[in-house]
Amino acid sequence: MAACGTTTAVSASLTGTTLSKMPNPFEQAVHALPGAPSASVETIVVELDGESWVVPAAVCLRADSDSDIVLAEAERQVAIVHSLVAPMISGWPSTTRNPSWTEEARATWEQDLRIAGVTTMTLAGLVGEQPALKQSWVEYEHSFADPKQGWGSPTHISSRVAGCEVEAQALTQAIAAQCPET
């Protein structure tokens, strides 16, 4: 399985009138700070390749309101991705890396970003919102481009999307195996 941390460049051009006319549930979350998970939302632990993933029990999508719960957690995970990436690109392109970081701190950041990215992709996929998620990430990164100054978009998120998608597919299968049919 490919790691979400791989840096394969992704050309994420989601064109078409459907996406541009539909509201994007991640439009606000991509700029937000993450809140705490709702204490009232029940969670389950899904094991995958020696890792434990804590996700809302609503991922089984049994009740009518489960999609809303999963989408809300996906939005929270988007905000986590934003909180991890924002300091890295806040001064784009001149301050893309913190030179005082140790290798251990950088590895922790990469792992936290991977987990949030995979979780977000999985939850968004479960409720049919992966295209909107990818579009919001593309638009977020494009907001830092300035062709007049000679720089393009950062790729802290877009370079990881393909790897996150692969892991999200595996996590989705693990969730399906854990959610018995009712």
Structure tokens at 46: 């899904």
- Residue 8, in any domain of the structure: no
Decide if 6 is inside a domain.
no
* 87 in a structural domain: yes
Residue 104 lies in a domain: yes
* 7 lies in some domain: no
Q: How confident is the model at residue 74 (pLDDT cuts 50, 70, 90)?
A: very high
Residue 68: inside a domain, yes or no? yes
Q: What band does 94 get if pLDDT is binned at 50, 70 and 90?
A: low
Domain span holding position 116: 17-178
- H-type alpha helices, the chain: 17-21, 66-89, 103-126, 130-142, 161-178
Phi-psi map region of 13: left, alpha, beta (phi>0 left; psi -120 to 50 alpha): beta
Tokens, residue 163: 């790897």
How many domains are there within the chain?
Answer: 1
pLDDT level of residue 159 (50, 70, 90 thresholds): confident
- With CA atoms as reference, report the closest residue to 72 among 109, 126, 118, 18: 126
DSSP state of 24: -
CA-to-CA dists, residue 105 to 49, 98, 101, angstroms: 24, 10, 6
Residue 11 maps to a domain? no
Which residue from 164, 146, 145 is spatially nearest to 155, judged by alpha carbons?
Answer: 145
Q: What is the CA radius of gyration of the chain?
A: 17
pLDDT tens sequence across 103-137: 898 899 899 999 999 999 999 999 999 999 999 98
Mean local confidence (pLDDT), 68-92 = 87
